[in-house]
Structure 1
Amino acid sequence: MNGTTVQEQAEVHENVAARLLRSSAQLSYDPAVEVDWDTPLDTGMHGASPEWSTLYGTAYWDELTEAQRLELTRQESASVASTGIWFEMILQQMVLRDFYAKDPTDPAFQWALTEIADECRHSIMFARAAAKLGAPFHRPRRLAVELGRAFKTLARGEAAYAAILVAEEVLDVMQRDWMRDERVLGFVRTINNIHVVEESRHMRFARDEVLQRSATTGPLRRRWNAFVIAAAAYFIVTSMVGPQAYAAAGLDVDRAVREARTNEHHRAMLRSSCTGLMEFLGSAGLLTKAARWIYRRANLL
């Protein structure tokens, strides 16, 4: 990796983990305390920035009343939270498997457990948020659930960590907008702030893991990993908001799905959120021709 020795790479990796542990000790949150769970839901506020709605910019959005738009963004926010829980459970199992029986005195081992603890708190936080938003359980479609079950069992090395990075990077840009938007419910803004701060450390570690592990990967495995990562990204992104959210918001589901699928505004928002991610994957040799095709299908490139 850039001419460094294996020993030097290990030292850099250990230093990154040690810095992340110190950062976690200095700045972490307890959502049970930090989030206002008791104030009744204000139905005059959005659940997410309306510009991030899957229907914003469509003819259907223009026809909705303000009350319908507010309910839609709340249901979409809950759907994103549910998808986040799904992937965080996949993430936790992959990280635990990766560090199984490794040296517990290694800062990377200790950071891995810290990250898992963060993700447990985040999942509970997202679950409580969805309940407060008055949303039903938004489950990803069956195919995504079963592929996720296989992925968490089989993914290794840079494929696992790059997929983690993809999921976190897409949410990061989205949630940075939501947490600054005064049109969004206060408790949702707090949740997004917590997630952005703590996930920034997770993304730093994931990037370091991808670079370290891909440095010794051969060309065939690199191409396969690039395909697997892109496929995981496709199912994560396309699972964020599904038909259940439109049904819960009282919309015409068939029309909502149809217009969301061809919404160029939302596609552009997704692409802009992934510019840095695509540059990183390219620098790591994980943006092959096949991977690019899948990212374009997912509107990430």
Structure 2
Amino acid sequence: MTATQQHAPQAQSSADVSRRLLESSATLSYDPMTEVDWDAPLSPDHYGLNPEWSTLYGTPLWQELSHEQRVTLTRHEVASIMSIGIWFEMILQQMVLRDRYVSDYSDPEFQFALTEIADECRHSIMFARACQKMGISAYFPTRPAVELARLFKSFAGAEQAYGGILVAEEILDVMQRDWMRGEEVLPIVRTTSKIHVVEESRHMKFARQEIRDRMAGAGAARRRASSTVIAIAAYVIVKNMVNRDVYAAAGLDADRAVAEAARNTHHQTMMRSSCVHLMDFLAEVGLLTRPARAIYRRVHML
């Protein structure tokens, strides 16, 4: 009886969260095929993302770029980020499906999990069409990242899976909240960012609740292991967000651009600021251990 009494409030809380998210999905969701003006011409002067979010913003190389080069660079940067978003959304969908395999179909958690997968499918198509509209081919992660992700999506479960999902969504969320308000940003990027921000906010709430539930009563060894796995996933995602080929696409010396981007303290500060709430949450649930902190610092998330 004691065990049942301890777990009942937690299960009820999870069901309540999922039920509210389902109601929100029913009242506030978007169809990118009709919400985005896919036929509108692209202004040659609009950036792909707010210049402040460019990996080269504030560097000596940025100062040397013409306006046209800056526009081209930011469009390729946002296309690279969208491409990595699609890659991780495909991983996410597989992990959520595996997690919900043969579970109670009447459970609001199961139903919202499928709702999230449906959202992610639409988001992936939306990002793919946005890149196509900008005339930019897909950018892919490095081969080691692809192979590591195969292992992650096949074996990560419980808080590791939802932790990986959360870190990917949180990082992009802060960026896109700026892009959707950027008057100098392409309307197609502003609209797709708005759609993603609104719908991903529900996904992040779901992931946080799942992590809290899975971590309830977890021992120290499990916390250490899961925190490290999640941090490694975050490291791989961040390292692959902007492909080195985006610099060559803007007519730059890729080696020099990569080196200056790696030393760019402005971009490092932007990354840390975008991860404040994420780090607070991970600390709250015991998933910000010393080894994890060291990994996050390597990609300036902490």
TM exceeding 0.5: yes
Structure 2 gap ranges (5+): none
RMSD between superposed Cα atoms in Å: 0.8
Task: Give the superposition deviation at 1:111.
Answer: 0.2
The AA in structure 2 aligned to 1:248 is A
Output the CA distance in 1 between the equivalents of 2:191 and 2:199: 12
How many pairs does the alignment contain?
Answer: 298
The aligned runs of 1:94-113 (5 Å cut-off) are 94-113=95-114
Determine if contact 1:170/1:273 at 8 Å carries over to the other structure: yes
- For residues 178 and 239 of structure 2, the distance between their equivalents in structure 1, rounded to whole angstroms, comes to 20
Matches of 1:190 and 1:266, distance apart in 2: 24
Partner of 1:37: 38
Q: Secondary structure at the match of 2:57?
A: coil
1:292 correspondence with 2:290? no
1:122-166 Cα offsets, whole Å, 9 max, x none, are 000000111111212201111111111110001010011011000
Q: Any gaps of 5 or more consecutive residues in structure 1?
A: none
Q: In the alignment, residue 163 of structure 1 is paired with which amino acid?
A: G
Q: Return the offset for 1:216.
A: 2.7
Tell me which residue corresponds to 1:67: 68
Listed as ranges, the matches of 1:202-213 within 5 Å are 202-213=203-214
Separation of aligned partners in 1, 2:48 and 2:94? 29
Aligned position for 1:248: 249
Q: Distance in 2 between matches of 1:120 and 1:99?
A: 17
Q: Which residue of 1 aligns with 2:191?
A: 190
For structure 1, which segment, 270-279 or 35-44, has the greater mean C-alpha deviation from structure 2 after superposition?
35-44
Partner of 1:39, secondary structure, is: coil
TM-score norm. by structure 1 comes to: 0.98
Give 1:222 deviation, angstroms.
1.0
Any residues of structure 2 matched to 1:106-125 within 5 Å, and which?
A: 106-125=107-126
Name the SS of the counterpart of 2:227 in structure 1.
helix
Could you say which residue in structure 2 is the equivalent of 1:162? 163
Residues 287-296 or 249-258, more deviating: 249-258
1:5 equivalent in structure 2: 6
- The normalised TM-score by structure 2 is 0.98
**Larger deviation: 130-139 or 147-156?**
130-139
Residues 136 and 248 in structure 1, CA contact (< 8 A), matched pair in contact too: no
Which residue of 1 is the match for residue 220 of structure 2? 219
In the alignment, the residues of structure 2 paired with residue 26 and residue 293 of structure 1 have an alpha-carbon distance, to the nearest angstrom, of 41
List aligned pairs for 1:50-65, cutoff 5 A.
50-65=51-66
| Corresponding residue for residue 236 of structure 2 | 235
Which string of whole-angstrom CA distances, capped at 9 and with x for unpartnered residues, describes residues 153-191 of structure 1? 010100110110000000000000000010001111000
2: distance between equivalents of 1:243 and 1:77? 13
Tell me by how many angstroms 1:252 deviates: 1.0
1:153 is aligned to 154
Q: Structure 1 stretch 133-142 or stretch 119-128: which is displaced more?
A: 133-142
The CA deviation at 1:7 is 0.5
Which has the larger displacement, 255-264 or 115-124? 255-264
Q: Which residue does the alignment assign to 2:83?
A: 82
Q: Look up the match of 1:126.
A: 127
CA distance in 1, matches of 2:217, 2:24: 29
* Map of 2:271 onto structure 1: 270
Q: Deviations over 1:29-77 (max 9, x none)?
A: 0000000111122121001000000000100000000110011111001
Q: % of aligned pairs identical?
A: 62
For residues 45 and 106 of structure 2, the distance between their equivalents in structure 1, rounded to whole angstroms, comes to 51
CA distance in 2, matches of 1:38, 1:247: 28
Q: Look up the SS of the partner of 2:102 in the other structure.
A: coil
- How far residue 291 of structure 1 moved from its aligned partner, in angstroms, is 0.1
Secondary structure of residue in 2 paired with 1:227: helix
Higher alpha-carbon deviation: 20-29 or 32-41: 32-41
1:26 partnered with 2:27: yes
Task: Tell me the SS of whatever aligns to 1:5.
Answer: helix
SS of structure 2 residue aligned to 1:241: coil
